[in-house]
Structure 1
Amino acid sequence: MFKVIALLTRKPGLTRDEFVDYYENNHAPLITETFPQIIEYRRNFPDLTQVLRTGDTPDPQFDVITEMWFSDKSGYEDMLATHAQPEVGNRIRADESNFLDQTRIIQFVVDEREFPRS
């Protein structure tokens, strides 16, 4: 499996509830319809009322950790090629402008490892 993570920040002026609602009811369905290459798609919304931190550790600078799995690297590259098509990329960016601070999108490939349990 090939995994990608995105750290996304809500658009100024949106509450957390508005952000989550828009992502779950508008953007997530758009992504799953547009990119069949994504075989698993999770959105993790931090609950900062239940956080472990030390000292003056600041709040994170994002509102959701999005995880996307692909069958392999070529599936990810195919998704990127689909996104690069102007009609697709423009549609995604237009939807993102409704709820994301697009200047703060961070997406990266991860080397996911699991500790074996006995």
Structure 2
Amino acid sequence: MYKHVALLVRKEGMSHGEFVDYWQINHTEIAREIEGVVKYATVLPVNPEAAEFDGIAELYFDDLDALHDALGSEGSRDYDPAKGKAKEAREDVDNFLAIEERPRFIGEVVTQKDEVGGETDGLYKHSAFLVRKEGMSHDEFVDHWQKNHTPIAREIEGVVKYDTILPTDPENAEFDGIAELYFDDLNALHDALGSEGSRDYDPAKGKAKEAREDVDNFLAIEERPRFIGEETVQKDEIRN
């Protein structure tokens, strides 16, 4: 499964509330019908004032070529789809997004843990946009992340689903990967991973503590955006 993740920043002059209204009421109706999309989820920040972005839009495709046709490839912010809902969606983003301030990522989803059968609607999610430690190659980063860190992270207390997303084009990707940890309970998420803005949170025990200690072995913490939000599944042809 391939996924396009857009970290959304509202257009200058718009309030967060105005942005959310437009995104959810106007744009989502278009985006869920983009050709090739099999799942579409939006993630709203639980604490907008402290969040690094106004929201996250996630579109899933079975086929990477279909994703590229609809949404462009890594680095192509000004892609211009020729037809259909993809064209309509691209034209609409100028109404509510600051395009040049919106990081985006295309990758392949690897599900590391799933206790919810893929049902993520209404769950709280911590998304970490990973940047490797200075001096590490992308391959070295991936090797440590997948072999050393992931076995710890999947056992963090409260985690009900854990996905890692690897870039399909590492040389042009804005991040080295994305880690997504889902929780039923927001307090459990905060206990394990901190709240918005708390990059140097220090969990006291368990796998959360072990995971926090390990990130220093392979991540550039200060260069890693993170986002805590509640996910709404707008379309899901995978499960339905």
Q: Same fold (TM over 0.5)?
A: yes
Q: Percent identity?
A: 30
Greater strand share, structure number? 2
State the match for 2:164 in structure 1. 43
CA shift for structure 1 position 105: 2.3
Give the counterpart letter for 2:128 in structure 1: A
State the match for 2:145 in structure 1. 23
Q: In angstroms, what is the RMSD of aligned CA positions?
A: 3.1
**Gapped runs of 5+ residues in structure 1?**
50-58
Is residue 225 of structure 2 the alignment partner of residue 106 of structure 1?
yes
* Counterpart pick for 1:4 among 126, 134, 138: 126
Pairing 1:38-117 to 2, within 5 Å after superposition: 38-48=159-169, 59-80=172-193, 83-85=202-204, 91-116=210-235
Equivalent-residue separation in structure 2 for 1:62 and 1:80 (angstroms): 20
TM value normalised by structure 1: 0.71
CA shift for structure 1 position 68: 0.8
Equivalent-residue separation in structure 2 for 1:43 and 1:80 (angstroms): 16
Give the counterpart letter for 2:132 in structure 1: R
The verdict on how the C-alpha distance between 1:117 and 1:46 changes in structure 2, with shifts beyond 3 A counting, is closer
Give the counterpart letter for 2:186 in structure 1: K
**Gapped runs of 5+ residues in structure 2?**
1-122, 195-200
Equivalent-residue separation in structure 2 for 1:90 and 1:114 (angstroms): 31
Show CA shifts across 1:17-70 (max 9, x none).
Answer: 21111001111112233x221111111011117xxxxxxxxx443211111100
The verdict on how the C-alpha distance between 1:66 and 1:90 changes in structure 2, with shifts beyond 3 A counting, is closer
Equivalent-residue separation in structure 2 for 1:117 and 1:26 (angstroms): 32
